[in-house]
Every structure is written in structure tokens, then in C-alpha cells.
Chain A
């Protein structure tokens, strides 16, 4: 715990953000592809998701392996459809990307609304899940303990984002990636060595032990993951932190190279835990079953740092979205000067983080997994159709964008409210009530096509079309002509107490030696 705090402190001191837009929001767009790939992997494969996935495999065998595959395959959506055009057309937020060809005010507002809703849902869900897990791991029982953990997470997140902006956030995420990989490898090793299991028996052992969920329902959940993950706002802001689209492409491929072995290790651990349970005759949460003593402490600190990397990324993307899309465009009168915009962004991040923190403390004892899946479903059925139409369809327009964003969000929300995730199921948010008219808890297979349809209908309903601005969008999306470039580092930017450049000037962002673990 202290160890992770020290790392975070070092990062936030060594990589203070200057008060410029590119630096605060995107680390001057100067990260290399492997760095960004590590950071992508570090935010995306959170420790919490690792544990839930591992538990899923342990309790349901094959059906638990499929979500792991879903997460892995979701990188392909990022690789093929999202990363490159986004880097070529995006500024700092979804609103920036869309307003290249749409009327700025309405689409920025819609983009901000969608981003912030996803942010609140995702952040609250992650806070509850991570704090529950940490409470279990370090033995801080009781609501007070968990509330304390939530407060600590938010505090450290704010410290990171406030001081270090995207640069600090990215380094946190890179360290997460390394720690996460170490932790998983360590767990797999402990499992195989100390319990005398070997991989081939484990693989032979995997059988379904729970009644399989409905095929269409699980397919719906999987496809939502595959399509939605790539456009979660905290992930897609990462595609903007590299010098150009080729680096964005290569960073996603780096994330893929990391994800595949990592997923295989997770499967191994999950199956191993299942075998252990069978031997011991009782089920227990995955980590507790596997880790003892120092390993447990290590895993706990990894959980802590990874959740910081995730929340920092979420907070930064939401702060950017509010500041740029809502504050300066709707409330403010025209562009703020740069330093003031960043000051506003910093304060926005503080305010925005308090909301999910309070929410998480209230919902601590609830089952919030539905908030996470709702967040992904919302992203997949609002942001994805809007972006794809905006880049590739000449006939798209502002009205279509509004329909696919607000309409997609409305459809998703209504379906989820009437799904078994909210009522009529022992695991639902309101287990007592029953108004579940929709049969599945994963609504993506209906809401995503509907959102595409709404975007199409909206664009057709109002015949307006701006072919001139579409020319800009299309040429930029495919070639990167006129896309924002990396900011060269300022030679005067030195670490105060050493008088040296924090990293070499030719490769702008080498790790600041001490930051690694």
C-alpha cells in the first residue's frame, strides 16, 4: 500500500503537467507506441476485471472463458474501426471529433452528456467493486472501512490528475500494466508449483458446472463487450496521446500482444482455482484461495494502483469533456485562454470525482455489476454508431448524430430498466420488485442496431448535408492530413532539483528511472 503510494507520488512529482491543452489532456501527444500500448493494456485489463473473470472461470468453466475472449477480441474493434480515424480527426474529446463536420453546439452537448453519463456509471461501479475487493483483501471490514478506501482512491486519483494530467495518468497506467502482468504470472506460478497441478489436467478438467445461460443473452453480452469497450471515453482518449495514426495503430497492436498471454494466464488461474475448490470441497473467492501472506499484500497493492490508473483515466476524460464541450462552448463566451481552460479542467475533475465517490459510498452494499455493463452498453449504442457514421457516411448530419446519441442512450436505459438486471431477479438491483419485461440482462444486441437505425433515420429525416465539411472529415480520417501533431518538448523544461531534463530530448518520453517499480 505504502509502496504504491510512493510510486504514485513520484510519478505525479516527476511529471507535472504544464498548463497547455496538449500537455494536460494528452501528454503532448508524444507517447511512443509501446508506451501507449502498455498504458492501454493497463487501463483496460483492470485488476478487478481480472478477478471477476477468474472467478467466472472458476465457477462456470467454459462459459467463464468466453468473456475473457470477448475482452481480447474487443481490441480488434479498436484496431480496425476506431483508433486510426479517431487519432486523425480527434482533438481531445468526442465533441472535438464530431464537430469537425457537425454543428458544434448541439453535438458537443450531446457528446458531453453521453461521456459524463458513462463516466458516472463506470466510475461508481468500479469504485464499489474495487473497494469491496480491497476491503476483503486487507481485512478492513465494515462500511466505514470501505468508505475510507473509496475516499483514499479518490484522493490519490485527484492528486495524480490534478498535478500531472495525462502524463502522470499514463505513467500510472504503464506501471499498472507491468504490475498486473507480474501479479498474474506470480499467481499462475504459485498455483502450478505449490499445488502440484499441471496445465494439461486443468484443461481436461474444464467442464460446465452451472446451468448455461441463454445463448442469445450471453451472445448479446459478449458482442456488447466486443463493440463497446473500444469507445469507452477513458480508452479512446488514449488513442489521442500518440504522434499520429500509425502510432495509434501500433499501440493497439502492442496492447494485443500483451492481452493474449495475459488472457491465457487468467484462464489457467481460473481453471486452477476450480480444481483447488474441487479438491478442498468449498468455494472461496479466487484470490483468497490462491494468495497467502506476501503474495496477498502484493496483489492488494496491485489492485490499489490499477484502480488509480483506471479512475485517473476516467476522471481526465470526463474533465476534458466537460471543460471543452460544455464549459467553454456553452457556458463560456468563446475560447478561454489556455491556462484558464486548464485551471477550469483541473477544478472540474475535482468536482466530477466527488459525485461518483458519494454515489459509491451509498451503493456500497448493492450489486453494481449492472452499472459497469450499462456503461459499456451505452458507449456501444451511442458513441460507436455516431463515430462510424460521422467518419464513413456522407449523408450523416447533426440531427442524425443527436438521434443516435440521445436516442441510443434512451433506448438502452429503457431496456435496462425493464431487464432482469434491475428487477425480478435475486441478483438484481431491486431484488424485491419485478417489472422485468425484457428477458435478458444484456440489452446490447437490441440497443446497438436500434441506435444505428436511429442515426440513419435522424439523418434522413432532416435533409441537411454539409459536403464541404464532410470532405475535411473524410480526408482527415483516412490520411491524417491536418491532424494535430505531437508537441516538441521545451528544452527549458527541467526537473527543478536536478537541473536536468527528465528524459532525453530525442526520445521525448523515456521513463523517469525512479518511476518504475
Chain B
């Protein structure tokens, strides 16, 4: 993995670990984790950025909307998303990720 000039000063990964990473990446468990977490992240990121943008735009353009309440709602938004995220990650992502991680670390020794 050397670039030619100079040393690669931090040999981050041993060769056998690299092979393990490749094998894990191809495993069905990892494919499931990846598609699940990507779908979830894409949705939630779109949702929070979208909510934020739409609220700001609406509160500026619509005279009827109570603007201060919109802003206070935005301040409370992170709490809502964080609760959802904590629950979702614990139930749906962590078990898969833990299993894969344990597999990696178990096969190491």
C-alpha cells in the first residue's frame, strides 16, 4: 500500500484484517445492514433538512402562519428526531452491526 515516496507511517491495517473486511463486506448480513441503514439515513436526513427548509420558507411567505411558534417548533425538532433515531438504531441497526463486529473480532484471534 506504499505510495512510493517516503514511508506509509501508519500501517493501519494488517493484510489478514483486510481480507476479513472484504469477506464481511460481501456477507449477506452486511448487505442487509447496509441497505437498511442507507435507506433509513437517506429518509431521515431528507426529512429533517426538508422540514427545516419548508418551515423557514413557509413562515416567511405565509402571513397567517404563527411565525414564532414555527421557530419554537424547529427548536424542538431535534428532540423528536433524536428519540426516533435512538430507538431505531438500537432496535434495527445495532443488533446487526454488533453481530458483524463480533464476527470480525472473534475471527481475529
Chain A residues in contact with chain B, CB under 8 A? 62, 65-66, 68-70, 72-73, 75-76, 79-81, 91, 96, 99-100, 103-105, 203, 206, 212, 215, 218-219, 222-223, 226, 246, 249-250, 252-253, 256-257, 259-260, 263-264, 267, 328-329, 332-335, 392, 468-469, 471-472, 474-476, 478-482
Contacts and interface: CB of A to CB of B under 8 A. Distances in A.
Given A472-B18, A482-B13, 9 more contacts: A62-B59, A69-B77, A76-B78, A80-B44, A80-B85, A105-B6, A206-B68, A329-B9, A478-B100
A206 B69 CA distance: 11
Contacts of B101: 479-481
Given A219-B57, A475-B100, A480-B101, A72 B74 contact: yes
B107 to A, nearest CB: 10
Contacts of A81: 41, 45
A471 B60 contact: no
A223 B79 CA distance: 19
B78 A62 contact: no
B54 to A, nearest CB: 11
B interface secondary structure, majority: helix
Contacts of B3: 103-105
Nearest to A257: B79
B33 A62 contact: no
Contacts of B6: 105, 333-334
Interface in B28-51: 30, 33-34, 37-38, 41, 44-45, 48-49
A259 B78 contact: yes
Interface in B85-100: 85-86, 89, 94, 97-98, 100
Contact of B34 (A70, A73, A335, A474): A474
Interface of B: 1, 3, 5-10, 12-13, 17-18, 21-22, 24-25, 30, 33-34, 37-38, 41, 44-45, 48-49, 52-53, 56-57, 59-61, 67-68, 71-72, 74-79, 81-82, 85-86, 89, 94, 97-98, 100-101, 103-105
19 contacts: A68-B71, A70-B52, A72-B77, A79-B81, A80-B85, A96-B10, A99-B12, A100-B13, A104-B10, A215-B60, A222-B52, A223-B49, A249-B86, A259-B78, A335-B10, A474-B34, A478-B33, A479-B33, A481-B103
B38 A392 contact: yes
Contact of B8 (A104, A252, A257, A480): A104
Given A479-B33, A480-B97, A253 B24 contact: no
Given A223-B53, A475-B104, A481-B105, A99 B10 contact: yes
A215 to B, nearest CB: 5
Given A69-B74, A105-B3, A203-B68, A474 B86 contact: no
Contacts of A328: 9
A482 B68 contact: no
Given A73-B48, A222-B52, A476-B21, A256 B82 contact: yes
A246 B21 CA distance: 21
B84 to A, nearest CB: 10
B80 to A, nearest CB: 10
Contacts of B85: 79-80, 249, 253
A246 B75 contact: no
Contacts of B105: 481-482
A68 B76 CA distance: 11
Contacts of B86: 249-250, 253
Contacts of B89: 249
A16 to B, nearest CB: 26
Contacts of B7: 333-334
B42 to A, nearest CB: 10
B100 A80 contact: no
A53 to B, nearest CB: 12
B33 to A, nearest CB: 6
B74 A62 contact: no
Contacts of B21: 468, 471-472, 475-476, 481-482
B60 A73 contact: no
Contacts of A73: 48, 52, 74, 77-78
A212 B97 CA distance: 48
- Residue of A79, A100, A223, A226 with most chain B CB atoms under a 10 A cut-off: A79
B5 to A, nearest CB: 8
A80 B41 contact: yes
Nearest to A78: B78
B45 A80 contact: yes
